[in-house]
Amino acid sequence: MASDSTTPPSGGTKATLGLTGLTSNAMALIAPGAFLWLTFFIQCAYGAPMAAQGMWIGIVAALVLCLATAISYAELSKLYPGAGSSYFFAEQAFLSKKEAFKWARLAKFMVGWASHLYYWVYPGLMVGTTSLVAGYMLAQFFPDTFNPAVPSPIFMIGFCVVFAPCVAYIAFRGVGGTTVVNAVINVVQITALIIFSVMAISYRVNHTDGSKGIALDANGVPSAQIISADGKTPPADVTVSYAADGATKAADGSEAFQYHKDAISVISPHKFSYVIIQACVAILILVGFESVTSMGEEAKNAKRDIPKAVILSLLIQGAFCYLLEYFAANFFLHNNYNVSAALGSAAPIGDMMKIVGMWAFGSAKAGQIFMLVQATTVLLALVGTTLSCMTTGARVTYAMGRDEEMGEHFGMLHGKNNTPHRAIWTLAFISIAIGIISIYFNFCGPCALSDDTIKTLPVNVWYKIGVFGHDTAAKIPQSLLVVTLVSNFGTFLLYMMTCFTAIVAFREHHTFNTFKHTVVPVFGLLANLLCMVFFIVGPFSVPGMSKVEPFVALGIVALWGVYGAIYMAMRSKKTGRTVILSAAPTGTVGA
């Protein structure tokens, strides 16, 4: 058996990565091909019935927020190229100051602790959402046993239990997350999403108002005709409509956003509150650009290339990929597949792919195959994303363990694989639990299934648990959204602290630039804070914005903060260290 060690083998890490390799690694965690599939449902659900109108422009707002934070990360990585991301940035920034050095340990711990809300929750969220995709795909092969719109809870629980340890094993072995693997995943998923985006836009352009179209039948199969369930009404051709009076009206006549009447509507804000709601959720799809700042030792020219990789990864996947694919998906919506239909499906994008696939390739079977091919690329991207965030999360835990800010056992490397195996396996079990919680109450709260829908589900062992009547489900918080918000709140806190760290790091530094080192980080800090505050104020002022999910998530964040304060006090007592430093460590160089 290989023994544990506290330090890497002699010789260190080889510097092999140039700008392309670093950018590819940064892009692995953003995964636009996967997140369109995963978050479209959440973005339709939160702030319903109207906030989905601002989905595209909300992503623009989130992108601006992330760019401000990315500039702070880029600047810090120039100053501390081998520091290891936010956790060490905070320590180095404060230690470099003649007066502020005393806050170095507290700042480092706070950043590291907040990082865990993101890096420990995010992998579990990916495990849960991957189980939803897998359940949706399984139903395509066994439609009599599983429902594609409502995947089996038992199957998804089993999938979480298997998937998380499998990804953890790859991370443990140290063979995952390579530049080549990440590059392949990036090329495959971006190619796939561009193909879908072009097809979705083409479908809308080629199906004008009043023309014949395609819809999904009760079994989720694309069809050019509407066939009544009782078989008494003659089949009728599917007719496409983008009528303005139906764009914001539900089937029961109530006000509810359903589709965009034209392209201008897709990119319009409609209301400021809708933009903020969508931006707060869209943070989930843009985070990850900062992970490359921990690769200073692997970079050939860290000071030059890491800052560029941070910005490039965000621009390529955020400004190009996401804005294209979200425009395409929103532009595609029409009377035969609208937001109400998306809310009743586990995979709205998969449904869209079946429709455009049948139109492009001529048959329902071809549409199914096209969707499955696209879904396979999504699963591939999800494996890469889960691996990347699990590895990054384990690095943060390892760093805190090595510094004795968390249990010393977390600061041990595997003697043979040179990986933080104890942190990895701890994160694997946490991911199983979070993954199961995220999907078990997925069809609750604003996404509660109607009793009529529940009656159509297969009656078998796969649906014995995890299916609740509408009235009961409506009272339960929607778990996938709660977990998403906890992860996002952790991200907001981490990004706010990093922006503040950038301000401290460059204060009185000879490279100080007012715009890059004050204006940008202050804007990033305030923008992240605005998103946090909006979840407290918004539910009381925005119709359809649930009070339950954000306050449950904020409660979890508050408990984590209180536990962190108690934990640091206990660690300080155990290790004999003070929270506030009385003297700067020997060898510390001021700014």
Cα 307 to chain center, whole Å?
Answer: 22
- 123, containing H or E segment: helix 121-141
Angle at 211 between CA 210 and CA 216, to 5 degrees: 105
Residue pair 354/347 in contact by the 8 Å Cβ criterion: no
Angle at 119 between CA 35 and CA 187, to 5 degrees: 35
**477/271 Cα distance (integer angstroms):** 26
Res 70: pLDDT? 93
Q: What is the mean pLDDT of each run of 10 residues along the chain (591 residues)?
A: 54 67 78 77 80 92 92 90 78 88 92 91 93 91 90 96 94 66 80 93 95 89 78 79 85 82 94 88 84 77 88 89 94 93 86 95 94 90 85 87 88 84 94 96 88 91 93 93 91 93 91 93 93 84 80 94 95 90 63 46
Interval 198-225: pLDDT, tens: 999 999 999 999 999 999 987 889 999 8
The predicted pLDDT at position 572 comes to 92
Paired residues of 223 in beta bridges: 215
What is the model's pLDDT at position 585?
66
* Domain ranges for the chain: 15-575
Q: Tell me the fold of 15-575.
A: Amino acid/polyamine transporter I (1.20.1740)
The predicted pLDDT at position 165 comes to 96
Residue 371 corresponds to which tokens in the numbers above? 């969707």
CA distance 312 to 355: 34
Tell whether the torsion through CA atoms of 255, 256, 259 and 260 is positive or negative: positive
For residue 82, what pLDDT is reported?
Answer: 65
Specify the pLDDT at position 587. 53
Query: Is the CB of residue 579 less than 8 Å from the CB of residue 102?
Result: no
pLDDT value, residue 10: 47
- Characterise 270 by phi-psi region: left (phi > 0), alpha (psi -120 to 50), beta (else): left
Would you call 438 helix, strand, or coil by DSSP?
A: helix
Please give the model's pTM, rounded to 2 decimal places: 0.86
- For residue 183 the two structure tokens come to 């590059």
Closest CA to 199 of 101, 325, 75: 325
Distance CA 560, CA 565 (A): 9
CA dist., res. 32 & res. 548, Å (int): 29
Please tell me the predicted confidence (pLDDT) of residue 111.
93
Paired tokens of 142: 């066994």
pLDDT recorded at residue 21: 81
pLDDT of residue 12: 45
Q: Looking at residue 591, what is its pLDDT? A: 46
| CA–CA separation, 72 and 443 (whole Å) | 38
- Sequence-distant (≥ 6) Cβ neighbours of residue 587 within 8 angstroms: none
- Tell me if residue 239 falls in helix, strand or coil: strand
3-state SS of 314-370?
A: HHHHHHHHHHHHHHHHHHHCECCECHHHHHCCCCHHHHHHHHHHHHHHCCHHHHHHH
Beta bridge partners, 299, equal 17
